[in-house]
Each structure stands twice: as C-alpha cells, then as structure tokens.
Amino acid sequence: MSREVVILGEVRGGKIHPVTYELLAWGKGLSEKLKTKLSALILGYNLKGLEEVIHYGADKVYYFEHPRLDIFNPEVYAEVLVPFIKEIEPDIVLAGATTTGRTIMPYLAGKLKAGLTADCTSLDIEEESGLLLQTRPAIGGNVLATIKTPNSKPQMATVRPKGKKPLEKDPKREGEIKTIKPEINLNSRIERLDFKPREEEVSLVDAEVVISGGKGLKDPRNISLLFEISKLIDSSAVGASRAVVDMGWIGYPHQVGLSGKTVNPKVYIAIGISGAVQHLAGMMNSESIIAINKDPEAPIFQVADIGIVGDALDILPILKRKLEERKG
Amino acid sequence: MNIYVLVKQVPATDKVKIDEATGTMKREEVEAVINPLDLYAIETALQIKEMFEGDIHITAISMGPPKAEEVLKEAIAMGCDSGILLSDKAFAGADTWATSYTIATLIKRLNHFSLVITGERATDGETGQVGPSLAGQLDLPIVTYTSRILEINNEYIILERETEEGTEVIKMSLPGVISVTKAIGEPRLPTLKGKIKARNTKVEIFDLERLKVAKEEVGLSGSLTRVVKVFYPKISRAGKKIKTKDPEEAVNLILEFLEERGIL
C-alpha cells in the first residue's frame, strides 16, 4: 500500500475550522485513486468534535493535544510536525491557503526540503506515476499551469478555502482517532501578546449573492452603485476585481480572485469584469453566474449562466430603481 | 542593525502575452517593474529606520537577470542603502524552494543581520512562499501578514499581524523574517536625492562562483517542483449570452434569475 495522504486541519478559536472538511474532500479524491488512507492532522487543546473529522471523510485522525497548540505559532507547529512527517512519510500533505496554511506549509517545506505548490485550483493523480498533479493559475493569473514534484516526498500543496464543497457528512463512518500528547520544550521566539477580533461587515465568503465590479465601471465613484444595490438584496456583499483594487477604487478585503478571496455564492454577478484566470480562480465555483460586459468576447461570458452584452452604467441604475420599487 | 529587504522584478502582469506553442511567457515583450507588493517591504524597512534608535543599514536583495539591477536602484532611490543582485544563468528557472535556498545561502555569507523583510507575494508567481521557506531553511522565526510595526529594538520586534478573524499582536525575537501587507502604509516615492544616490551606487553582484554553491542546488536543477503543462483554461457553462440594446430587458432578466433562485 502506498503511503498515506494527509491533510493539515485548521483550528480557529478552539474549534475545528470548516476548511478542514473541504480539505478532506480534496484529499479523498486523491487517496481513493492511490488506494491509500486519508489522515487528518489536527493540532489543538481541549478540542471537541474530532469524530466529525471522520464523518467528513478521514480514515484516521492524528490529534496533537497540548496547551501550546491552542493558537497558531509556526515554530511550535513545526516542532511537532517536522518530526512527525519524517516519521510517517506521507505521500501528500495538503493544507488550506489561509493565513495559517500559507505560513506553515512553506515554513515546513523549507525545513523538510519538500516541493510545495500554492493555491491549487485542481488536484489529480497521474496514472502511470502516481504523482500528484497540481494545477494553479500562473503568470499573473493569465494561464493555468500543472505542476509536479517528481523526485521528493512529501508532495505538498495548498488549496483555496471554498474551492471545494465538503463531502456529505456520514455519522456512521468509522475511523481511528489517535491522540498524541507531544512534549514541547521549545523556547519559541514568537509570542502572541494580544488578539483583537475583527467585526467584518462584509462577509464576502458567506454571502449568498456577490455583486462584483471591475474596470467597466469606469469611475471609482460608480463603486457606490454596487453598495447601494447590495443594500437592496438580502445576504449580499460587494466584491471587486484585482484591477480596481489595485487602482484604489475599493479596499483589498473586497478583492475576489487568486490574490483575493474565493467565493461560491448562489449567484455571482460580475459587472464590467473581463474575467482573467486570476479572477475566475476566485469565483468559478459559484452556483450560478451573471455577467455584464460591453465586450462580447470577454472571457467572463464563458463561465456565465446569463451573459448580458451591454454597458454596466446603463443597466445598474435601472436595476437599483427596480429593486427599490420591489422593496416599496 | 542590518535589515535585508527582498525585492523581485516582475512583468507588468496586465500585459503578459503567452507563446501558445511553448506555453511560456513572452518576457521580452513585456515591461518589467518592481513587484508592487515589495514596495511595502521597502516602506516597512524605512519606517523601522525612522523609529529605531541607532544606525540601520538597509540592503535590498534581488535575484534575476542582470536587468533586475533596475529594481535595486529603485529601492535605493526610495531610501535603501545598498543593493545585492543574485544573478547567474544557473539560477534561472528556480521554484520557491530553490529561490529560498539561493537567498538563504547568500544571507549566510553576509554580515550579521536582524531582520529580513518581504512583500506578501510577487504578482507574477503569486505564491508568497519564499519568505516562510527562507525562515524555515535558516531556522529563523517568521511572522507573515504583518500590518503594522509597533516597536523594535536590538532584541525583539513587536508587530501586528492580520488573520481572517482579526489582528494579533506578536513579539518576535531577532533575528527573524517578516512578510508585510499593504496595510503597512503607502510606500514613499523616490526622492531626487535618492535617485542621485541610486545612480552613484554600485549594485553588488553574486554569481554562482561568488556564492560558492553547487550548480545542481540552484535554479531549475535545484527545484523540487516542475511545471509540466501550461494551458489556457477551457471553462464553459452552457449559458445563454444575451445581446441587448435594451437595459430594461437586461434588468428584468437579472431579476427573474434572482427570483428563480429564491434570492428575491
């Protein structure tokens, strides 16, 4: 049997973070092709709900429990994970492309001399070699590249949160939970002194409707139209393309795409966004997509359920008025 | 105190053209610029220079073809004190591991330092992996997504780090590595004095021989990952494209679509 596929689960605020379940869905596709086990590594303290990790697809959970694993610290994580990965020699290690995953994975890869591919949008196994095929947008998000790690193990990759739906939860699924109480004697050079939680007004990733604007809005002042329309649609939030964020029309938290957030709302409305791979990478898993663009050749139309060839600035004011009329 | 700032020359990505036959970027046809996010790393170093009591020497480090000297000159014009360019044909084609390895080797050859600062990621590769990988290879502590520097002295730095849920206040012993986000503050523009200084400062070049590394350890041959295919995505939903001269009709379509999905 080949060596196991491992996902690095995430714990935030003392709870298992949903990205963990998405990672299991990614990992399952690979472990089944390799006919091997799918294991989850969970680092934390006093955690509950570990059986859920099994219900969502893990064959085995390695739970590392220690008070110092309560919050993320790359040095402490590496202290636990480097020797463990060397010991179990997994074939593949996956993590979420979150602030944690994007920190710990390259830090580990640097220590393990392991190949790592960031922000994958699809993962597969090459039949003849059994190697991991990692596909991600490349060259500024203009094309997709498939990347292999031919000669070293583990093969490491991060995937975007919300890039895949978790598998259906199966409470009857069985698996093994192995609790490990590591000794951590490290005198860490990093110490968290304080934490101030943020109250995010736009929870872009949780919104049911995302209304995103791009260069086709022509003027930064027109961004306000998006917000006015968003106020009229329940559970909606405003997104933007990288171009307009770079130009300073709207803040970075609104950016959708490879270098921003990944969203998969019920409806994604792309307004004046041409649809570079960079942007598509962040929204193409939306349940449905409406595109408005003047250029009939814009690539955004290739992913749209409804494509409207027209000027956003003609359409938006009417949309706003009609929504207002409905609200009375 | 010595600070190293890592900067990269990248293509102005909006205008990248791809050679469809080979799947590679037509680099020669594209304007090269300093990675916009590295400007924030330079800005951070300059802010630290202002708040630190004592002398600070800021060295900008880049890896790339001889032409990449331009970005080091730009860094000096903004206020960095010197520049080092890792440049050798053997360094070409490096993945993030080999890049970090090459930079780590250079840093080991240089004077004692306190801090390495990087941008969040480069706008061409978009991995953001070199900073943490470098820290891992040099066995240094790392703080990513740094949004603000609160305090620095010879022993430690206190800074803010942005996560999905909020802001962490972190104390890190020096030496260490940090990567910074745009929140650090608008990068200052080069001054006339800086431009003159940049013109008169000679950038130091480290090639394979001077770096004393084996050819197999760097560039494409030292890379652990390989690009096996580059392609344009073929994504297609069987959607309907409606050309409409009548915006009212377009709006009605949108509203119907939202109603069907229970949004309105």
Q: B21 CB contacts (<8 Å, ≥6 apart)?
A: none
Count of structural domains within chain B: 1
Domain end position, chosen among A126, A148, A180: A180
Q: Give domain status of residue A198, yes or no.
A: no
Residues of A in contact with B244 (CB under 8 A): 308-310
Q: What is the pTM of this model?
A: 0.88
Same structural domain, A131 and A278? no
> Residue B204: which domain range?
2-222
Question: A146 forms bridges with which residues in the sheet?
Answer: A135, B229
Q: Give domain status of residue B255, yes or no.
A: no
Model ipTM? 0.91
Q: Shortest Cα distance from A291 to chain B (angstroms)?
A: 9
Q: Give domain status of residue A156, yes or no.
A: yes
Rounded Cα gap, residues B45 and A294, in angstroms: 44
- Six-digit token pair at B175? 């030496």
Q: What's residue B11's pLDDT?
A: 87
Q: Would you list the DSSP string of B40-77?
A: HHHHHHHHHHHHSSS--EEEEEEESSGGGHHHHHHHHH
Q: What's residue A328's pLDDT?
A: 73
A225 reaches B (C-beta below 8 A):
no
pLDDT in tens, A295-314: 999 999 988 988 999 999 99
Among the residue ranges A20-24, B190-194, B230-234, the one predicted with the least confidence is B230-234
- Six-digit token pair at A5? 């596929």
pLDDT in tens, A71-119: 999 999 999 999 999 999 999 999 999 999 999 999 999 999 999 999 9
Q: Using the CB atoms, write b or e for A65-96: b if 16+ within 10 Å.
A: bbebbbbbbbbbbbbbbeebbeeeebbbbbbb
Q: Give domain status of residue B217, yes or no.
A: yes
Q: Taking 80 as the threshold, does the pLDDT of residue B28 lie above it?
A: no
pLDDT band of B246, cuts 50, 70, 90: confident
B127 reaches A (C-beta below 8 A):
yes
Q: Give domain status of residue B158, yes or no.
A: yes
Domain end position, chosen among A180, A196, A223: A180
Strand-strand pairing, B166-173 and B156-162:
antiparallel
CATH number of domain containing B142: 3.40.50.620
Binary contact (A308, B172; C-beta < 8 A):
no
Q: Shortest Cα distance from A175 to chain B (angstroms)?
A: 31
Selecting from A142, A151, A308 the residue whose C-beta is nearest the C-beta of B16 gives A142
Question: B172 forms bridges with which residues in the sheet?
Answer: A190, B157
Binary contact (A74, B142; C-beta < 8 A):
yes
Count of structural domains within chain A: 2
Q: Give domain status of residue A65, yes or no.
A: yes
Q: Give domain status of residue A191, yes or no.
A: no
Q: What's residue A1's pLDDT?
A: 45
Domain end position, chosen among A148, A180, A212: A180
Binary contact (A147, B227; C-beta < 8 A):
yes
Q: Give domain status of residue B244, yes or no.
A: no
Selecting from A13, A106, A234 the residue whose C-beta is nearest the C-beta of B96 gives A106
Give the number of A-B residue pairs with CB atoms closer than 8 Å.
Answer: 270
Q: Taking 50 as the threshold, does the pLDDT of residue B196 lie above it?
A: yes
Q: Taking 60 as the threshold, does the pLDDT of residue A202 lie above it?
A: no
pLDDT band of A246, cuts 50, 70, 90: confident
Selecting from B164, B224, B263 the residue whose C-beta is nearest the C-beta of A152 gives B224
pLDDT in tens, B213-244: 999 999 999 999 999 998 877 666 666 677 66
Among the residue ranges A72-76, A256-260, B79-83, the one predicted with the least confidence is A256-260
Q: Shortest Cα distance from A176 to chain B (angstroms)?
A: 31
Q: Give domain status of residue A112, yes or no.
A: yes
Three-class DSSP labels, A184-221? CCCCCCEEEEEEEECCCCCCHHHCCEEEEECHHHCCHH
By CA distance, what is A120's nearest residue in B?
Answer: B127
CATH number of domain containing A19: 3.40.50.620
pLDDT in tens, A149-173: 999 999 999 998 888 999 999 999 9
Same structural domain, A39 and A172? yes
Residues of B in contact with A147 (CB under 8 A): 225-228
Q: What's residue B27's pLDDT?
A: 64
- Six-digit token pair at A153? 């193990």
> Residue A219: which domain range?
204-327
pLDDT band of B19, cuts 50, 70, 90: low
Q: Give domain status of residue B170, yes or no.
A: yes
Tell me the average pLDDT of chain A. Answer: 93
Same structural domain, A246 and A308? yes
Same structural domain, A169 and A209? no
Same structural domain, A73 and A159? yes
Q: Give domain status of residue A234, yes or no.
A: yes
Q: Give domain status of residue B253, yes or no.
A: no
Q: Taking 80 as the threshold, does the pLDDT of residue B52 lie above it?
A: yes
Q: Give domain status of residue B199, yes or no.
A: yes
